[in-house]
Chains A and B, each alone.
Chain A
Amino acid sequence: MRQHDPAHPQAMGQGEAEQDHDSAPGRTARTLDFGGYQVVGRTVTIAADPALIHDHFRDPARLNAILGSHLRVEPGAGDHLVWVLATSSREIRVETAPVHDRPGEMRAWRSVEGAELDVEIKVQLREAPAGRGTEVEAHVAYRPKWGLAGHLAARLRGIDPKAQGRQALKRLKMLLETGEIATARNRRAG
């Protein structure tokens, strides 16, 4: 059975098959069944200090700077964070509570009971080899509404957590390495 190796975090313990595994992260498994969850994620290496990266995930305003046009966060009650996903027809609001907050290592949120979507979001940081900076791994496990069909529909529209997470990490990398987010726009907005 695959153990919880911090270098290869699995689907938060969800849906692991009882068999010998290779060393690949669980989310890359050739299966669509993670115990009813969809498990997606992405790793990028950022030439920045882990503490700086971790701070980015503690501040809703800084988090919003990397989330793109379909997704934003809003402060919730207490230390809760509300994730707002804009679909073509409406907004899906998911209130989450922090479940891990280890400076320079990990930040994670889980949806509260009764939330519209059952989801766990985790960001893990680890030192990259050869002075390359910090490996930042974002990992999302969620139960899509309408099951696998709902997941595939979201993927087709580019608003699934995999695309959102991947693009957010790329924007974070741009921002921390260059001080700006690349754009081909020739003129300022407005």
Chain B
Amino acid sequence: MRALTWQGKHDVRVETMPDPQIVNPRDAIIEVTSTAICGSDLHLYDAVIPGLKAGDILGHEFMGRVVETGPGSTLKPGQRVVVPFTISCGACFFCRAGQFAACDNSNPVETQEASELLFGHPVSGFFGYSHLTGGYPGGQAEYVRVPFSDVGPLVIPEGPTDEEVLFLSDILPTGWMAAENAQIAPGDNVAVWGCGPVGLFAVQSALLMGAGQVIAIDHHPRRLELARSLGAKTVDYRQSHVLEALMEMTGGIGPDAVIDAVGMESHGFSPDNLMDAAKQKIGIGADRAHVLRLALTAVRKGGRVSIPGVYGGLADKFPLGTLMEKGLQIRTGQTHVQAYTKQLLHRILEGEIDTTFLISHRLPLEQAATGYRNFRDNQNDWTKVVLKPGRSGADLLP
């Protein structure tokens, strides 16, 4: 099969790889019809997440048709499914508690060890990501082996297009959980840093949850425009002083909740970010946490901080005093995708949520490297890239 492989920093290539097979009883093989490049794929592309190996197949946002099932799978060949990026057994203590992204049993024993050493506990398995999370071959490929296929994949009824449901695999539940973690009460002021896909879905979710005002912060005009189209107010950090603007736009109180949808690769030329960038460059201190520091400073006393942005290691100059003295609450974590897919599919089918506004480019899988490069280097125009395995390109024109 053809698959997008990681070869090193800023080097991804589509190569011919062996077709996957059923290995364990609960496996299914999916023929991928649509797959997307995620913002967290860019962390891999930039090599700031540890644990990639040359030749790894990337991709954790994908959907397709079931072509083969193991004896323990509940899927049937021919069904159309969206596959959560989190691989979860459904049976362990964490899965039974709905904390699917903390699954104890999906990260193979050999790769669990490194994450246990790093984080104190082993993390669960993800598709197409670091070997800390299992090193599972991902979905930017023609075919994928899907473990625990009786738990994760969501069967899609006839009707919606791929693009209407594809983002149930990650970014829509991630934006939704980010807003949920912000514990939004009706009328709340909510600030969201980062108008990438997760930030925009967090904006959309916060408004659906009853926020009175959502303020989105970024510097890309196109992305800010998308936020405004969803109903947000916007602050361009290159035009305005963010902290002062947020205070003035919230009656001098500060946002009730803040959402950091940027994560470990903050932009900007503030002194702390320049120091973080230097450390990241030479491999000490993996996270550029400028946005998180800013969000903690901006949020009102007793406010809530939600962190869907990915962090991978250590951050210094972390404002613990701000956290304590203002009495803040923080909620974060990888998304428990399986806990949200059914209710969000229902909202899509009912017309409450549209996700297609985000897609700027559709490419054949063979052009995936172009997609990565532009999604990273031209973030204003390339807001979301959907890859189509088995398609030539000419048939993808809108």
Contacts and interface: CB of A to CB of B under 8 A. Distances in A.
A16 to B, nearest CB: 28
A30 interface: no
A178 B26 contact: yes
B101 to A, nearest CB: 15
A182 B93 contact: no
Interface range for B: 20 to 34
Nearest to B145: A186
A132 B111 CA distance: 25
A80 interface: no
Given A47-B92, A177-B89, A187 B23 contact: yes
Interface stretch (B75-83, B129-137, B167-175): B129-137
B397 interface: no
A178 B109 CA distance: 14
A79 B147 CA distance: 38
Given A184-B135, A184-B137, A45 B21 contact: no
A180 B21 contact: no
A186 B20 contact: yes
Contacts of B26: 178-180
Contact of A184 (B96, B104, B134): B134
Given A183-B24, A184-B136, A173 B108 contact: no
Nearest to A169: B109
Contacts of B110: 167
Given A47-B92, A182-B107, A187 B21 contact: yes
A174 B103 CA distance: 11
A184 B105 contact: no
A184 B72 contact: no
A182 B106 contact: yes
Interface residues of A, number: 23
Interface string A148-190: 0000000000000001000100110110011111111111100
B33 interface: no
A163 B117 CA distance: 12
Interface in B8-48: 18, 20-26
A30 to B, nearest CB: 19
B21 A182 contact: no
B389 interface: no
Contacts of B107: 182
B112 interface: yes
A179 B72 contact: yes
B84 interface: no
The majority secondary structure among interface residues of chain A is: loop
A76 interface: no
B137 A178 contact: no
A42 to B, nearest CB: 11
Nearest to A69: B110
Given A184-B136, A186-B18, A173 B23 contact: no
Contacts of A163: 113
A147 interface: no
Contact of B109 (A171, A177, A185): A171
B148 interface: yes
A68 interface: yes
Contacts of B93: 45, 47, 132-133
Nearest to B131: A184
Contacts of A185: 23
A95 B110 CA distance: 27
Interface centre among A171, A179, A182, A183 (most CB of B within 10 A): A182
Contact of A178 (B22, B89, B134, B135): B89
Contact of A187 (B20, B108, B113, B147): B20
B194 interface: no
B91 interface: yes
Given A177-B92, A178-B26, A179-B72, A184 B125 contact: yes
B149 to A, nearest CB: 12
Contact of B137 (A177, A182, A186): A186
Nearest to A170: B109
B346 to A, nearest CB: 28
A27 B27 CA distance: 39
Contacts of A170: 109, 112
Contacts of A188: 21-23
A32 B265 CA distance: 43
Contacts of B72: 179-180
17 contacts: A47-B91, A133-B93, A167-B110, A170-B109, A177-B105, A180-B26, A182-B24, A182-B105, A182-B106, A182-B147, A183-B24, A184-B108, A184-B111, A184-B136, A186-B23, A187-B18, A187-B23
Interface of A: 45, 47, 68, 132-133, 163, 167, 170-171, 173-174, 177-188
Given A181-B24, A187-B21, 15 more contacts: A68-B109, A174-B105, A177-B89, A179-B25, A180-B24, A180-B25, A180-B72, A182-B89, A182-B109, A182-B147, A184-B136, A186-B18, A186-B21, A186-B137, A187-B20
